[in-house]
Structure 1
Amino acid sequence: MILEPPPQPDDHEVALPEGVTAQLRLLETTDLHAHLLPYDYHSDNGDQPWGLARVATLIRAARAQVRNVMLFDNGDALQGTPMGDLTTGPAPEWRGPNPVIAAMNRLNYDAATLGNHEFNFGLNWLGRALGDATFPVTCANIMTPEGATPARSYLPQYLLLRRTLACDDGAEYPLTLGVIGLVPPQITTWDHAHLAGQLHVQDMIQTARRIVPQVRAAGADIVLLLAHSGIDGAHAIPMMENAAVPLAAIEGVDAIMAGHSHDIFPQPEATGNTHSQDTMEAAAVDHARGVLSGKPAVMAGAWGSHLGVLDLSLEARGGRWRISGHTAEARPVASVPGPPATRAPVLSISCDADLSRALGPAHRLTLRHMHRPIGQARARLHSYLAMARADASVAAVNAVQTRLLARALQGTAHEGLPILSATAAFKTGGRGGPNNFTDLPEGPLSLRHAADLYPFPNHLCGMILTGADLRDWLERAAICFATVRPGAPEAMLRDYSVPGHDFDVISGLTYRIDLSAAPRYDRHGAALDAAPGVGAGRIQDLCYNGLPLAADARFALATNSYRAFGAGAFTRPDDARIVHVSDTALRDDLVAEIAHTPLAAPAEHTANWRFVPLPGSSVLLDTGKGLRTDPSALDDMTADDLGLTPAGFQRLRIWL
């Protein structure tokens, strides 16, 4: 579905007197991930320190403070909670507009762009959702497939928003705000099953360099980038994912709203670019001034944890508005920022009563779905220690994937190949906060437990890989750990620049991970062979059926669509190696399996990996305090409980 651009406004009709001044406030939400109400549907707990209903209170207050205000969303709004999933599936019970779109309509957003997760349920679903929006949506770098004639953009590449400004002298004059949306080009990898042959995504930086002059020529006074992209290096790299810094540096860009990485910008206590050791790159990220590459910038966290506020002082020069000064702020809904920030919340902004009432029917339907019984679990399954040892919750998912792929390959040329399974614990704390862990009880399970165990709308894929491929897969998974230097000061176990869900565990193999060895890849999958300390790799004693894994041995690997097409630090295999892609979501397959077979971690899928012993060395792991309700979980490891961190994590010292 190609959405046609709206008619563009004419040039200014009123002359703008030289020297007139005005104040313009631009507000941002980003990465809401369908967190509309402060309710955790996975744990069945309300009054959480996030959600659009809380941000709406901040929006109303921000609008009341100044006369000229515009509100934008920076993407990843539609997917992420069970309420956001109400409109998915072949026969959804929810009949109205997507609840996220309905909420945004009610708050009178001025415009929005798309994030990568907007494509998780396919283009038809996305087109229906956007069709109910009362605000325009822009994205400049998503095009019809390569070779299509004529080449067209999926959405308007830019918007010209005409507004009348109440000026400081009491007069009113027109403003044209040019808005350009951008999304990471990796969407065709992450949602390959939905987008292959449907869309072509261009480099964000090259696209912006081409479009910004067009927006200027079309009459924009101020050019705003809605870039669903995080803060990384200042150097432009082809097809860069987190490109906010080089995007802001483009000539003609006046301000930028960033997102995607769930970070907060500016942070008053921060200095420089914490993602980079490069002096030039660090200088391009100025928290104190609220600028990226010298341009006003903001990034409002995630899940409705913050409201981004850019206050621009405007002055008329040469018949156009220009920015003469600014302030930037990420206003939290909690007095100490809640998830996904780094400290525990203390006091939250109250919810907007009008929006909360409007969301009531969708909330009640979501609860009814989440409470639907689906089956049994034979034991308690949680992810509190999934980054420190072989984990039963991961093993249980791998067991289901193995059964599913075995059935799918029956009667094919690949029947009879040994089947392995790769998955990760999707919830392991990190930026998601101290409650971001899976915890399923022994006994009856409901749909909310399946959503807790498998929160993403991936599909099952089957791949044909060799022993050498599998070793490389595990090396890429092991980059999530920091390097332990014997005799060096105690350090954190995890490298938090790598998401926890990039740590795949392959059931059916046994192996050890050597933390004293340097990782072989960076978080983007680039080889680090030239780095000091990089040798044979971190994966040792890799075996199948108790024997060393032969490099040329062939296996069928069950994994998910996100990973199969090369997401994270992983490489995409040749299409010929992908021999199965399920038509149904893996979470739905999981629910169907639990209905017939109690969820469990079979012995052959557990205890398959461990760390290489490093006598006298220890690491620190921040986990959820729910681990304290399962003290036996620590029986097979040597660990000290160091208490709770200021962020609310339980910190363990783990002896290697």
Structure 2
Amino acid sequence: MTSPPNCYQLAILETSDLHCYIVPYDYYNDKKSEVFGLAKTATLIKKFQKIYKNNILVDNGDLIQGNALSDYVSRYKPLEKDKNHPIFKVMNYLNYDIATVGNHDFNYGLEFLKRVTNQAKFPYICSNIYLFDENKENNMGESLYPESYIIEKKFEDNASIKIGFIGVAPPQILIWDKHILDNKIIIKDIVESSKKQAIQLKKNGADLVIALAHSGILPLKYIKNTENAVYELTKIKQIDAVFSGHAHNIFPGGKVFQNLDKYKIDNTIGKINNIPVVMPGALGSHLGIIRFNLEKKKNVWKINQSFSEIHSVKDVEPDSKVISLVEEENKNVLNYIRSYVGKSNIHFYSWFSSLGNSYTSQFIQKTAIEFASNKFKNTKWENLPFLCSFAPLNTGTHGSSFINIPKGPLAIKDISNLYPYDNEIKVLLVNGEQIKDWLEFSAQTFNQINVTSSEEIFLLNPLFPTFNFDCIFGITYEIDLTKPLGNRILNIQFNKRKIKPKQLFGVVTNNYRAAGGGNFPNINKFKTILDSTELYRNILIEKVKNTKVIDFTLEENWKILPIITPNKQTVYFESSLDSIPYHPPFLVLHSKDESLKKAKYRIDVTKF
């Protein structure tokens, strides 16, 4: 169908949060994946580039970190200076047009980031990150990347449109990676930076302004320097569309965005405050597209209509050329992750780690406490009682991956599955009162159970990430889910005695939490008594190597209190289908979704 005179269609295609997942393969579980991988997304990219001849391909950050491949080329066998990073081999082949950075792109340090992004045959931009310069006002030196960029797109009849791009990332990068970025960069507020650059782009002749925002949509409340600012970006009149990421959700269509119409969030057509927005999940699970129907009148471009959509890679064949480009790297990584480390007599699984004690969590916590205790021998902290705070990872809830490692040999892939992040060990000096505050904040992961309500609810709060559900090992405590936030943690004991408000402990945690990640109350102000650069994953590997067989007894640490009073409320818990043979007695299988590979349980709250 031919467009009317002076009317044109433009499609902008987005990937985000790829985390170096190129081949559709789950390295940690050592099996193929049907639901992620840039090789599969590439097939969709080529398909829609044929459909929409006038197109632009963008990436929204969190690209170079996140799986065994990224670790291999950055830490285990670092790239030689003349070798291209595998993700950029693929992206250059796919002819990306422009990209911005995400928070995890900084995890390997600034030098590595700049070196590999210099391999891109497309521009990188970032509108709110600057080099630290002590001689400049507010220490704000040169921009890390160009603050904006204009792409001029020509249509078939030689009509030309100028599309201005801005790119922003969370200011919290300087919290999460403070140990490697302090006094190297400064980061400005997402919204203020975007508004400034959007206005400047319009002055520079941009007909459209597009925000590449490595930032989530929720929560909606805006506070300066907030992490998730997309909702506020849609209020900037100079911005015509927002490509979102960071939160690993999908929009339009994501569950967490349902029933938000009163906030002008249309989860069906993908508009927020009437501005098109898209968020394409993570790991190459979806391709995001915003299509514009444009009209040019008297040399002024107008958006007549816009459409936001996402397309899943499930049932999509991977692009054979992409697979071949990284064939050697993929083979090397598979050999590495399959290398033998040790043996275990324990079946490690994580499906129910947010409901009670688990071998998976306690193995990590016990190992971390042992490491810290050894570090403090013959120091003034030698007799300090040590605890370990750890949030269950990959629990299979909210559609996430899960841990399922049977008894027997343990390989690198298994340890990486137990602890997939490049987190360093830190030890903080914390008192009893602060421990209670820490746990109360963590208990936000649960929705409150109202025994007088007949409303059906899910136990876990989908807006509170499971990686912020810190469980502290070395003490015992109870959680009362009938109580409101701030009053749920009861009976905290150490060595079977109630802890005192000013009693001191050494709490082992990671660099993310110690620097303030997750916005836990005052944690970034606690005294650090061990500032180690050892990675959790490495100490776990050494523990397995140096132990004949991993075997231990699960300890009572924390529990959710059963609700004995009559309860009208039906409470549900979701996990993966693989969890069914192992579910605890207080879970009753309610339904199975074979297509989504999900199990839905009803919780017998009297049997917690």
TM-score with structure 2 length normalisation?
0.93
* Deviation, structure 1 residue 200: 1.3
1: CA distance, partners of 2:586 / 2:232: 46
Quote the residue 1:135 is aligned against: 122
Quote the residue 1:623 is aligned against: 575
Quote the residue 1:548 is aligned against: 498
2: CA distance, partners of 1:275 / 1:408: 51
Change (3 A) 1:404 1:599: farther
Secondary structure, counterpart of 1:85 in structure 2:
helix
Conserved 8 A contact 1:623-1:650: yes
2: CA distance, partners of 1:409 / 1:217: 60
Mapped pair 1:642 → 2:590: yes
Mapped pair 1:476 → 2:441: yes
1: CA distance, partners of 2:474 / 2:44: 51
Conserved 8 A contact 1:399-1:602: no
2: CA distance, partners of 1:639 / 1:46: 30
Change (3 A) 1:443 1:452: same
Mapped pair 1:162 → 2:146: no
Change (3 A) 1:208 1:544: same
Mapped pair 1:501 → 2:464: no
Change (3 A) 1:19 1:202: farther
2: CA distance, partners of 1:459 / 1:473: 20
> Which of 448, 453, 458 is equivalent to 2:413?
448
* Deviation, structure 1 residue 233: 5.0
Quote the residue 1:292 is aligned against: 272
Mapped pair 1:515 → 2:467: no
Quote the residue 2:542 is aligned against: 592
Aligned ranges for residues 114-513 of structure 1 at < 5 Å? 114-145=101-132, 147-149=134-136, 151-166=141-156, 171-232=157-218, 235-267=221-253, 273-274=257-258, 279=262, 281=263, 283=264, 285-334=265-314, 348-433=315-400, 436-489=401-454, 490-513=456-479
* Deviation, structure 1 residue 300: 1.1
Pick the structure with more strand per residue.
Answer: 2
2: CA distance, partners of 1:296 / 1:624: 33
Change (3 A) 1:572 1:165: farther
After superposition, give the CA deviation of every residue in 1:553-576 in whole Å (9 maximum; x if it has no partner): 011111111111111241343556
Quote the residue 2:73 is aligned against: 87
Conserved 8 A contact 2:126-2:148: yes
2: CA distance, partners of 1:419 / 1:325: 60
Conserved 8 A contact 2:242-2:278: yes
Aligned ranges for residues 564-603 of structure 1 at < 5 Å? 564-573=514-523, 577-597=527-547, 600=550, 602-603=552-553
2: CA distance, partners of 1:572 / 1:154: 30
Quote the residue 1:345 is aligned against: none
Secondary structure, counterpart of 1:483 in structure 2:
coil
Change (3 A) 1:235 1:384: closer
* Deviation, structure 1 residue 599: 7.0
* Deviation, structure 1 residue 601: 6.7
Secondary structure, counterpart of 2:32 in structure 1:
coil
The amino acid of 2:571's aligned partner reads: V
Task: Pick which of 538-547 and 423-432 moved more.
Answer: 423-432
2: CA distance, partners of 1:468 / 1:599: 38
Secondary structure, counterpart of 2:161 in structure 1:
strand
* Deviation, structure 1 residue 428: 1.2
Secondary structure, counterpart of 2:426 in structure 1:
strand
Aligned-residue Cα RMSD (Å) equals 2.3
2: CA distance, partners of 1:90 / 1:412: 33
2: CA distance, partners of 1:498 / 1:574: 20
* Deviation, structure 1 residue 330: 0.8
Change (3 A) 1:36 1:151: same
Change (3 A) 1:430 1:628: closer
Secondary structure, counterpart of 2:152 in structure 1:
strand
2: CA distance, partners of 1:418 / 1:649: 41
Quote the residue 1:32 is aligned against: 18
Quote the residue 1:10 is aligned against: none
After superposition, give the CA deviation of every residue in 1:25-69 in whole Å (9 maximum; x if it has no partner): 110011112221111111111142221111111111111112211
> Which of 9, 27, 34 is equivalent to 1:48?
34
After superposition, give the CA deviation of every residue in 1:402-426 in whole Å (9 maximum; x if it has no partner): 0111122234332221111111211
The amino acid of 1:437's aligned partner reads: F
The amino acid of 2:107's aligned partner reads: N
Change (3 A) 1:38 1:407: same
Secondary structure, counterpart of 2:330 in structure 1:
helix
Conserved 8 A contact 2:45-2:287: yes
Conserved 8 A contact 1:308-1:331: yes
Percent identity, please.
Answer: 29
Conserved 8 A contact 1:398-1:422: yes
After superposition, give the CA deviation of every residue in 1:331-359 in whole Å (9 maximum; x if it has no partner): 1222xxxxxxxxxxxxx111111111112
Which structure 1 residue ranges, 4+ long, deviate > 4 Å from structure 2? 598-603
The amino acid of 1:189's aligned partner reads: I
Conserved 8 A contact 1:384-1:438: yes
TM-score with structure 1 length normalisation?
0.86
* Deviation, structure 1 residue 427: 0.7
2: CA distance, partners of 1:50 / 1:219: 38
Structure 2: gaps (5+ residues) = none
Structure 1: gaps (5+ residues) = 1-17, 335-347, 521-536
Conserved 8 A contact 1:122-1:195: yes
Quote the residue 2:43 is aligned against: 57
* Deviation, structure 1 residue 240: 1.9
Conserved 8 A contact 1:75-1:114: yes
Change (3 A) 1:26 1:415: same
Give the count of matched residue pairs.
593
Quote the residue 1:562 is aligned against: 512
Change (3 A) 1:652 1:243: same
Change (3 A) 1:236 1:405: same
Conserved 8 A contact 2:437-2:521: no
Conserved 8 A contact 1:30-1:76: yes
After superposition, give the CA deviation of every residue in 1:377-436 in whole Å (9 maximum; x if it has no partner): 231111111111111110000011101111222343322211111112111123444xx1
Conserved 8 A contact 1:502-1:569: no
Task: Pick which of 63-72 and 147-156 moved more.
Answer: 147-156
Secondary structure, counterpart of 1:108 in structure 2:
coil
* Deviation, structure 1 residue 314: 1.9
Secondary structure, counterpart of 1:449 in structure 2:
helix
